[in-house]
Amino acid sequence: MGPAVEVTWSSAMSPTRNTVPPTMTHPLAGRFWLAVLLTGSSTGFGAVVLTRLLEEVQSLVWGGSGTGLLEAVQQVPVWHLLLVLLLAGIATGAGQVILKRLSSANGIDTATAIWFHAGRLPAVRTLGSAVLSVIIVAMGASLGREGAPKQAGAVFANFFCDRLGLSDEQRRLLVACGAGAGMSAAYGVPIGGALFSLEVMRGVLALRYVLPSLVASAVATGIAWLWLPNAPLYRIPEYPNAAGAVLWAALMGPVAGLVSVGYVRLISWADRNKPATRSRIVAPILGLGCVGLAAVWFPQILGNGRDVSQATFLGWHQAFWLAAVLLVLKPAATAVCVRTGAPGGLFTPSLTVGALLGTVLGAITQQFWPGAPLGLCALVGAGAVLAATTQGPISTIVLLIEFTGRDRAIILPLLAGVATATLVARTIEFRSIYEARLTDEQLKARQIVRDGELK
């Protein structure tokens, strides 16, 4: 059995002990900040290990060491591609069964643990799921690689909270900080990862939370940069400032919001219908086998989508129909992977869906009105869908600036697209992609707690 749901604080704990220390003069400030530093450092090392594991597995199963996943996949024969995806399905099914037997605790999503379990989650099950996630993403599962370091960071934070005797409120914050630090270290985005941990994972942007989150992400990223590349994740050209691009982004935003609602609902359906009992072995083999079969013609659907996003940001001027097909197949492949029970992140696949949407809409509108370069359309689409699906507009904007190393050339179109997309999506569907598995009752309880914290 998993830990009991804890929505309220313990009445036996004093308010001073329970709160997050606002200053260094607080009685428990030393213990709390020690946990922050330990969480950040351990998460940084964990992200390095998981990233290296992903690279080694990818090199082992696909060959082409030093190349991207898409390039490596395109160099192997069809039978090799199908075999790797079938093996990924076997690994997923077998891994889930083994983790279930190793740990009697039920698996808990990191966000759900923060919101309803005071940040507590089963360490063995969660770390095992993180390792399994890295392996199958390297083998081509259409999921994000950021899920594993986020899980590892959350486990480390939970461990240090136990050892240092921190309160439930402090644990909630530190587990969110650990998850954000994992993303920061994996992608080299310390500010965006810190904001993501608060805006999306914790659900509250408050001054007393900001410093712990920034410190944890900064420490984790600094450690990761000792072994991982310190460079922007995506390369984009210097786009000219133009009022037409801002107008295009504002008009495209509502469309991105509508697409995001459909995508969130698709993932919600897939997550709620994960296999149980005996089908836990068969479903991943069939599901990932089907993804592999589709990848024979469209290998771009494999992996987290980074290669596809990079291509769209540089402008796919001759690839309208390919982008249009992938706009359907990529979210479908991600939903199939989620439906089979495969663990993995949803952040980068959501970004890729947005990049494809921006490319398609940009190519259509350029036939009548050249409002923005096609690469900028893809970037704005990526930000709009990502913000709408995560319902984290602030962290999304900062993350894309850090991802690309650009700011002034993209900031106004990005703001216009993100704002309109998030507004439309939130009006229609209150769930974010991380709330997809919540029932209506859980979602209502979460909103009550969050509204109370914002007062």
The domain made up of 243-454 has a fold known as: Clc chloride channel (1.10.3080)
Structure tokens at 171: 């644990």
- Each of the 455 residues of the chain gets a pLDDT tens digit; together they read 334 334 333 333 344 455 777 666 677 788 999 999 999 999 999 999 999 999 999 999 998 655 689 988 999 999 999 999 999 999 999 998 898 887 655 567 888 888 888 889 999 999 999 999 999 999 999 999 999 999 999 999 999 999 999 999 899 999 999 999 999 999 999 999 999 999 998 888 788 899 999 999 999 999 999 999 888 999 998 887 778 899 999 999 999 999 999 999 999 999 988 887 778 889 999 999 999 999 999 999 999 999 999 999 998 866 789 999 999 999 999 999 999 999 999 999 999 999 999 999 999 998 888 878 999 999 999 999 999 999 999 999 999 999 998 877 789 999 999 999 999 999 998 889 988 777 777 777 777 666 556 55
Return the residue matching tokens 């830990």: 3
**CA 206 → CA 133, 161, 202, 356, distances in Å?**
32, 21, 10, 34
In whole angstroms, how large is the CA radius of gyration of the chain? 21
How many CB atoms lie under 10 A from the CB of residue 256?
Answer: 32
Contact 312, 323 (CB under 8 A): yes
Q: Where along the chain do its domains lie?
A: 15-21+28-224, 243-454
Contact 289, 85 (CB under 8 A): yes
CA distance 422 to 420: 6
Sign of CA dihedral 100, 105, 107, 110: negative
Structure tokens at 437: 């598995």
Check if 15-21+28-224 and 243-454 are the same fold: yes
Report field, pTM of the whole predicted structure over 0.85? yes
Domain range 15-21+28-224, its CATH number among 3.10.180.10, 3.40.50.11540, 1.10.3080.10, 2.40.128.110: 1.10.3080.10
